[in-house]
């Protein structure tokens, strides 16, 4: 069991498969990109599967989410999914992706055992997509979403970040499109995880702003805390349901008290929180020949030290040294 001193138990593992990405989203990294991790620093496919196995069979993890960077850039992704799906007990498995390349991989991922996907799409307008991501790949994402739905990777969730002056007027249109397409839309507040450290609290679009915009066109009824559980998204029934929309308000409505996540970076570091400035090394133990029991002990030790909250509401808050692409979304 991965328990901390506040009694929270981590059952949801987020595994970053690579720090590389084929987009350059303005809220994540600079236009020129970043210096990627060297290949020898990355966990191998075998090392990833071994750590997931330890998490599932010895530490009580029941859900595994593969992230990046962009996880579809990982050559061995389908094989990793297939091997993790063969574990006993079998974890629920999902993937967070920008959707580029999903058109050609959705079926193989479903056949390998992937249960569902979260696809990032911040706008319905190709020109705004290009401004946000610095790439002309809007159509690829839409085709990837359709392929995921066709393959049965359900529910297909769409993650959207609203940025001032770019797409902050699109919330109602995005929700109308998601309802028509059969996707579950979740808005995410912009978080202080950009490589440029240019995030400013006073400039972000808040959960309150998003909900006010949605209510100009839709009636929203809160599901409530009981239905939410430990999920990061607060959810509302849209026009009486059954369709829902979610808002992940990491900044203005933090959900740290119910957090059940543990995170593994692409280079084998345990992170207790997206906003943590500390990491615990498992890669070194793996490569020095440590047995599963020792790796499990190190993982438990890391999670025992998890802080009460993200610290975002503290005036002395400092962003993590590593950006979101390096630590996994």
Annotated binding site for [4Fe-4S] cluster: 21, 25, 28, 256, 259, 273
Beta-bridged to residue 220, according to DSSP, are 238
Binding-site residues:
14, 21, 25, 27-28, 65, 69, 96, 120, 157, 191, 256, 259, 261-263, 273
- For 144, 200, 303, the CA distances from 320, given in Å and listed in that order, are 31, 15, 18
Binding-site residues for GTP:
14, 65, 96, 157, 261-263
Binding-site residues for S-adenosyl-L-methionine:
27, 69, 120, 191
CB-based burial, 275-299: b 16+ in 10 Å, e otherwise: bbeebbebbebbeeeeeeeebbebb
Query: Which residues have C-beta within 8 Å of that of residue 315, sequence separation ≥ 6?
Result: none
Q: Which of 95, 211, 97 is nearest to 144 (CA)?
A: 97
Query: Which residues have C-beta within 8 Å of that of residue 121, sequence separation ≥ 6?
Result: 99, 129, 141, 142, 145, 158, 159, 160
* Strand 12-16 relative to strand 261-264, pairing: parallel
Mark residue 152 as left, alpha or beta (left: phi above 0; alpha: psi -120 to 50; beta: remaining).
left
Q: Are 43 and 267 in contact (CB under 8 A)?
A: yes
Question: CA–CA separation, 280 vs 327, rounded Å?
Answer: 13
* Strand 184-188 relative to strand 157-160, pairing: parallel
The kind and range of the H/E element at 100 are none
């Amino acid at each position: 069991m991965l328990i901390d001193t506040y009694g929270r138990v981590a059952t949801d593992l987020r595994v970053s498969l690579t720090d590389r990405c084929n987009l350059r989203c303005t809220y994540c990294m600079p236009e020129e990109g970043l210096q990627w991790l060297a290949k020898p620093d990355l966990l191998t496919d075998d090392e990833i599967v071994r750590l997931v196995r330890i998490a599932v069979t010895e530490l009580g993890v029941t859900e595994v989410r593969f992230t990046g960077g962009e996880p579809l850039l990982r050559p061995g992704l389908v094989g990793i999914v297939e091997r993790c799906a063969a574990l006993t007990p079998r974890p629920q498995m999902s993937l967070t992706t920008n959707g580029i390349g999903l058109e050609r991989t959705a079926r193989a991922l479903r056949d390998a055992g992937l249960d569902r996907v979260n696809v990032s799409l911040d706008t319905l307008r190709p020109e705004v997509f290009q401004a946000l991501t610095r790439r002309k790949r809007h159509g690829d994402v839409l085709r990837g979403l359709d392929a995921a739905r066709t393959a049965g990777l359900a529910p297909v969730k769409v993650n959207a970040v609203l940025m001032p002056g770019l797409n902050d007027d699109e919330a109602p249109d995005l929700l109308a499109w998601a309802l028509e397409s059969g996707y579950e839309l979740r808005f995410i507040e912009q978080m202080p995880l950009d490589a440029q450290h240019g995030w400013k609290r006073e400039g972000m679009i808040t959960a309150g702003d998003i909900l006010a915009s949605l209510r100009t066109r839709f009636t929203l009824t809160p599901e409530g805390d009981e239905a939410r559980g430990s999920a990061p998204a607060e959810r509302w029934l849209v026009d009486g349901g059954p369709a829902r929309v979610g808002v992940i308000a990491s900044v203005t409505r933090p959900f740290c008290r119910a957090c059940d996540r543990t995170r593994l970076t692409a280079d084998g570091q345990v992170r207790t929180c997206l906003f943590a400035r500390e990491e615990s090394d498992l890669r070194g133990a793996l490569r020095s020949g440590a047995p599963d029991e020792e790796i499990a002990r190190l993982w438990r030790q890391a999670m025992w030290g998890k802080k009460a909250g993200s610290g975002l509401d503290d005036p002395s808050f400092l962003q993590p040294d590593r950006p979101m692409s390096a630590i996994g979304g």
